[in-house]
Structure 1
Amino acid sequence: MSMAGGGKWQRETEQLVVKPFRLVTTTLLSLLLPLSFLLLSRLSSASFLFSLIKSPPQTDSSFLFSILRYTNPAILYVAVSAISVYTLVLGLTTKITASDPNSSIPFSPHVTMAWLTLFLVQISVGLGLEGTSSNGLIIRSERNFLSRLVFFCGLNEVMLLWCRVIVRPVVNSTLISGQHGREETVLERVALAVSCGTLWWWKLRDEIEALVGVAETKRALLLLLLANDGNVNVSLDVGTTDFVNWWLYYMVVMIGMVRIVKGSLWFGMILLFEQGSRRNPRGNASATHVSTTSSVHYDAEGDTKV
């Protein structure tokens, strides 16, 4: 009796405490991915503005600060590029199904690797966002509403995969005692979508376009200066970092396009299936009747009685 009472108390505790804490923790840690894009866009804008005024940013002389300053972008570029490429590959190779999205992920890192990746990204984003701010200096690239919508869909898709591959295994291994294969709930998907949309409306929609805005601005200024006097005293060459930022932005746009196309096809398949079932209800009924008759006939031949 005491064992039954203890099990009931444990289930009630999980229902009241563990599940809400798991939802909040998973949502907050999943936001590290869009915050990484925000930090990369701010670093790109700051680097471009400092190159124009020929004044390097003021840095602390400590060795630890220097290491963190130069390794933060490298860690973020590796993590964001890897998860974005993986999302695009899965979007292009997986079939259009309505099954559990976790089952379509063929590769998932070990929990130790997920812990390490999450820790490094969290430290990098925390230190980077603390030392950078927009201050109204945003290098924008004018995009229409459709382009921004496609990028938002792609960013949301990348964040979902980041949550399923990195965040959820870490949270499950900590809170649920090794139950890694827990199914994703509708409430978790809604919470991720709402949090990503809120962050997008608050910060990302104004600053994220610096990923492509810096490269395009450099190219436009370089062409303008060359056309005027041909003497360029400012370094406006599009470097490797600018190209990687441009590449990341348009990869996310491609992911969003794939997601929209596959979602439209999935919705169209559902409509066609429902329309076909409405046009031919007799065929389904006759097929059911034939199968029932054949089973009864088999029972009669085998002299099987219920």
Structure 2
Amino acid sequence: MSFAGGKWRKEAEQLVVKPFRLVTTTLLSLLLPLSFLLLSRLSSASFLFSLTKSQPQTESSFFFSLFLRANPAVVHAIVSSISVYTLVLGLTTKITATDPKRSIAFYPHVSIAWLILFLVQISVGLGLETTISNGLIIGSERNFLSRLVFFFGLHEVMLLWYRVIVRPVVDNTLLGGEDGQRREETVVERVALAVSCGTLWWWKLRDEVEALVGVAEAKRALLLLLPIDGNVNVIFNVGTVDFVNWWLYYMVVTIGMVRIIKGSLWFGMILLFEQGSRRRNPRGISTASSTPSTLHFDDQGDNKV
């Protein structure tokens, strides 16, 4: 009976738990790129409403004004911490590391990961709900190459968010383990994360996320064009939030550049290794296969003698 029960449990895990775990981890991992979308929309809305000196008349105006006037310190702090940690790991880890989880030196406790995930989910959910009907975008004309580099950096930050925060929480809930470090990542999980991040980036982020730098650049341009006035300077002055958004955008771009450079070096090292092995053994003849035949010939010779 115990053997049958264990077999049934494994089959149920294969059919129900693993697909549910894949969908849950993928959706929760998207909270990090959605945080960038929230910060860009709040930055655009704050700038455009400062131009008109009015607030939007919507059904959720109270919540919108709450998110618009209050500094989204929680989202800024969490996203900035994850991004800085990703950049540090990208600059300090070796290119030849086979397991990406071994390079992660710090894993927060499961309770801390629960708290961080809950705060980000509440902030992003309410923030996007209150800004979804405004459609305010302040972009900066970036070419496709710079957008692609930002995407690589965003995907790298999303992977760290997935490994450090999302997986420990989901595995602790579904599998009952202490953390999510014991289970290895599968190819299906990595493909699902890449496809989901790429779809969200192509659908929304590639245009709206540029408001993180577009607002700061627009304010700087208006300060140079408009006449000197005390009230105008106060309205269009680049504040702390604008600078943090600008710094966050270019830090993700730096992470993307580091990833591209390390990937190119890794690919070059593989090519050099294959060329070196071909030069040492151009015909692909194995020395191990020739040794037994020689010994067999010698044995035959000894027998004849």
> CA 1:38–1:134 in structure 2 vs 1: closer, same or farther (change >3 Å)?
farther
* C-alpha distance after superposition, 1:207-249 (max 9, x if no partner): 00000000000111111114xxx44643110000000000000
What is residue 249 of structure 2 aligned with on the other side? 249
> CA 1:72–1:22 in structure 2 vs 1: closer, same or farther (change >3 Å)?
farther
Deviates more, 1:148-157 or 1:50-59: 50-59
- Report matched runs for 1:1-306 at 5 Å: 2-56=1-55, 73-133=72-132, 135-178=134-177, 180=180, 181-226=182-227, 230-231=228-229, 233-234=231-232, 235-281=235-281
Aligned 8 A contact 1:154 1:259 in 2: yes
Task: Give distance in 1, aligned partners of 2:67 and 2:260.
Answer: 38
Aligned 8 A contact 1:42 1:134 in 2: no
> CA 1:99–1:119 in structure 2 vs 1: closer, same or farther (change >3 Å)?
same
> CA 1:225–1:71 in structure 2 vs 1: closer, same or farther (change >3 Å)?
closer
Find the residue that maps to 1:151 and give its secondary structure: helix
* C-alpha distance after superposition, 1:101-158 (max 9, x if no partner): 1111001101110000000000000110111136343101000011000000000000
Deviates more, 1:35-44 or 1:201-210: 201-210
Segments ≥4 residues shifted beyond 3 Å? 56-62, 64-72, 230-233, 282-290
* C-alpha distance after superposition, 1:161-201 (max 9, x if no partner): 00000000001111112063100111101000000011111
The residue identity in structure 1 corresponding to 2:196 is S
Shift of 1:98: 4.7
Find the residue that maps to 1:27 and give its secondary structure: helix
> CA 1:168–1:4 in structure 2 vs 1: closer, same or farther (change >3 Å)?
same
Task: Give distance in 2, aligned partners of 1:147 and 1:270.
Answer: 27
Task: Give distance in 2, aligned partners of 1:262 and 1:87.
Answer: 14
Deviates more, 1:53-62 or 1:181-190: 53-62
Task: Give distance in 1, aligned partners of 2:61 and 2:160.
Answer: 38
Task: Give distance in 1, aligned partners of 2:48 and 2:65.
Answer: 20
What TM-score comes out, normalization by structure 1 length?
Answer: 0.87
Point out where structure 1 has 5 or more consecutive residues left out of the alignment. 297-306
What TM-score comes out, normalization by structure 2 length?
Answer: 0.87
Deviates more, 1:242-251 or 1:69-78: 69-78
Deviates more, 1:230-239 or 1:107-116: 230-239
Between the aligned residues of both structures, percent identity stands at 76
- How many residues are treated as equivalent by the alignment? 288
Task: Give distance in 2, aligned partners of 1:210 and 1:172.
Answer: 35
Q: CA RMSD in A?
A: 2.7
Point out where structure 2 has 5 or more consecutive residues left out of the alignment. 296-305
